[in-house]
Amino acid sequence: MENFNAKEVKDVVIRFSGDSGDGMQLTGTLFSNTSALIGNGISTFPDYPAEIRAPQGTVAGVSGFQVHIGSGNVTNPGDYCDALIAMNPAALKANRKWLKPDATVIIDGDTLTEDNVKKAGFETLDPIAELGLEGYNVVIPDITTMTKAALADMGLDNKTVVKCKNMFALGICFYIFNQSEDYAKRYIDSKFAKKNPAVAEANKLAIDAGYNYAANTHQFANTYKVAAAPLQKGKYRSINGNVATAWGFIAAAEKAGLPLFCGSYPITPATVILEELAKHKELGVKTVQAEDEIAGICTSIGAAFAGNFAVTTTSGPGLSLKSEALGLAVMAELPLVVVDVQRGGPSTGLPTKTEQSDLMQALYGRNGECPVVVIAASSPSDCFHYAYMASKIAMEHMTPVVLLTDGFIANGSEPWRIPTMADYPSICPPIVEEAPAEGEFMPYARGENLARGWAFPGKEGLEHRIGGLEKDHIKGSISYDPANHQEMTKTRAAKVAKVVEVIPDLEVMGAADADVLVVGWGGTKGHLQSAVSDMQAEGKSIAHLHLNYLNPLPHNTEDMLKGHKRIVICELNEGQLASYLRQNFQDIRFEQYNKVEGQPFTVVELKEKFNSLL
């Protein structure tokens, strides 16, 4: 079924959108995995409502999945789309603003009933005109009717048949984007063939029907082809940020030779990390679904004391609940990684939307002088790397580490070249193996990196007591001595500061003396990189600096910030990194570009902003 009129394009962005129950996440995933198999660069992002089943047919109930495929390095799921697949008028309405000017819009004609159009909140009965879509390539196939016709002979009930309409839409997309149906069919077989062969057959037939419809109608005169990206050779898989985070911890525990423990409480968008860890008991992972976030971190602190590598996972509101206990971990100087998958705040905020507004909470949100290491991941797949590094630092430096990710990279996925554990650095925590030959064990005696010894209960001769009260700088017994408190406060800070010795220097993408330096941190990396590299290609004097290690900041941070006419800090908050950098580098002038709409930056708006600075 090769299509010879295909137009080669560098990249395309496709958005699948429908009711939460329409199976759009699966449709999008099958499309993106198919593209991955032919070697496209890919980035995807699901966009779903907070309610599990918001009222059918309403804009609030629309669930979307965006796929960006390209023949180059794809760093983000794209902002505006080339094709929108809308399974109902609400989906059309919700996504109108994300259409590129010449986009193809496919909407299921069967759903354009008076009832549905009203439910979607249209004022007239002509949604196409009302949304001003006349200039667009709008195609209105009767997807439901055609799916029913294609499956008429299967003897299935109406509900099952109608459920296959997403596969019909997928078939259309396979034709338009010149992709093979093989992978999707194999997937369907692996999922349904055993349990329900008729359903598997129906889904596969629906894909064929959609494909054939698209090939036969003249409405898709243009089809597109995206060449394989020049990806590094190797074995790839697709991974999302939450799974990558979970795997990073499992990897670190294996490397350290310790069991992994996770005490946690479910919260969007972090829950998948706990779910993923719970799946891997076979690798020695123990999970405790605690009664609340406080118990989540507390069970983890207990496990760390007892000699497991312990993590706790949460989102902003949960981090608030964990703050007192995090202080205990600082005081007790135990290794612990706390993951905050940031979401829109404050309070319950926007649970399913992304934001970067917990930086200050991570850096400072505790009583007392209470430093912790703060690290942020910046893409779905690098969550693995930063989870691993956070773990290594926590264990080797005997300190809590807060790992910040966000809803965008946690849910987004991308192809990932599978690493080999042999290539990852060793993890050697300062475990105390035996009692000192002479005298008592001193729990707060320190090594060169200022980490104290980790002495597990159960080891003979190492009996010792620790706790949240200030303690003597060597013996660990309670101490109210003023000079000791001063010394311990400084030591805890110095221990965290010393982590700078093991983190990599920053590298600027672009010229060291570019006129404009764009600074970001965490999950905005893909969009910032795209915008800056586009502008560099246009010959603009612009560079990009991205931070992953936030406390301590890398050695050369100040050097990297110097030598530019203007520096703009871009964040999905009201300027938290900006305040932090101003506090650290008081002679440097920083400008800000901020957004808190619960959405990632768009490359378009970033370029517009950066151009205004040049």
Residues 159-218 binding another protein (CB under 8 A) are: none
CA angle 215–221–224, rounded 5-degree value = 85
Tokens for 63? 């669930």
Of positions 294, 445, 502, 596, contacts another protein by CB under 8 A: 294
Span of 87-95, 255-263, 341-349, 357-365 interacting with another protein by CB under 8 A = 255-263
Q: Which is nearer to another protein, 39 or 109 (CB)?
A: 39
Distance, CA of 292 to chain centre: 23
Of residues 33-62, which lie at the interface with another protein (CB under 8 A)?
33, 36-37, 39
- Counting beta carbons within 10 angstroms of the beta carbon of residue 80, is it exposed (0 to 12), middle (13 to 18) or buried (19 or more)? middle
Q: How far apart, in Å, do the first and last CA atoms of the chain sit?
A: 49
Tokens for 328? 């205990």
Q: Does residue 394 contact residue 332 with C-beta atoms inside 8 Å?
A: no
Rounded to whole angstroms, how far apart are CA atoms 174 and 177?
5
Of residues 407-426, which lie at the interface with another protein (CB under 8 A)?
417-421
- Smallest distance, Å, CB 477 to another protein? 7
Does position 247 interact with another protein (CB under 8 A)? The reply is yes
Of positions 466, 488, 499, 547, contacts another protein by CB under 8 A: 466
Q: Does residue 504 contact residue 556 with C-beta atoms inside 8 Å?
A: no
Of positions 155, 218, 235, 347, contacts another protein by CB under 8 A: 235
Does position 74 interact with another protein (CB under 8 A)? The reply is no
- 257-260, long-range: CB < 8 A, 24+ apart: 258/307, 258/308, 258/309, 258/395, 258/429, 259/284, 259/285, 259/286, 259/308, 259/309, 260/284, 260/285, 260/286, 260/308, 260/309, 260/310, 260/311
Of positions 44, 116, 166, 238, contacts another protein by CB under 8 A: 238
Of positions 120, 328, 374, 394, contacts another protein by CB under 8 A: 328
Q: Which is nearer to another protein, 327 or 526 (CB)?
A: 327
Does position 292 interact with another protein (CB under 8 A)? The reply is yes
Span of 59-67, 279-287, 348-356, 536-544 interacting with another protein by CB under 8 A = 279-287
Of the candidates 190, 191, 108, 196, which has an alpha carbon nearest to the alpha carbon of residue 148? 108
- Smallest distance, Å, CB 254 to another protein? 5
Does position 484 interact with another protein (CB under 8 A)? The reply is no
Of residues 16-35, which lie at the interface with another protein (CB under 8 A)?
33
Of residues 112-131, which lie at the interface with another protein (CB under 8 A)?
none
- Residue 208 region, left (φ>0) first, then alpha (ψ -120 to 50), else beta? alpha
Rounded to whole angstroms, how far apart are CA atoms 158 and 108?
17
Does position 303 interact with another protein (CB under 8 A)? The reply is yes
Q: Is the peptide bond before 346 cis (omega within 30 degrees of 0)?
A: yes
Does position 465 interact with another protein (CB under 8 A)? The reply is yes
Span of 138-146, 257-265, 358-366, 554-562 interacting with another protein by CB under 8 A = 257-265
User: What distances in angstroms separate CA 242 from CA 32, 367, 493, 516, one per listed residue?
Assistant: 18, 29, 30, 33
Of positions 83, 250, 427, 450, contacts another protein by CB under 8 A: 250
Q: Which is nearer to another protein, 87 or 310 (CB)?
A: 310
Does position 469 interact with another protein (CB under 8 A)? The reply is yes
Distance, CA of 614 to chain centre: 31
Q: Which is nearer to another protein, 434 or 513 (CB)?
A: 434
Does position 481 interact with another protein (CB under 8 A)? The reply is no
Total residues contacting another protein by CB under 8 A comes to 71
| CB contact set of 475 (below 8 Å; sequence gap of 6+) | 440, 442, 443, 444
Does position 227 interact with another protein (CB under 8 A)? The reply is no
Does position 427 interact with another protein (CB under 8 A)? The reply is no
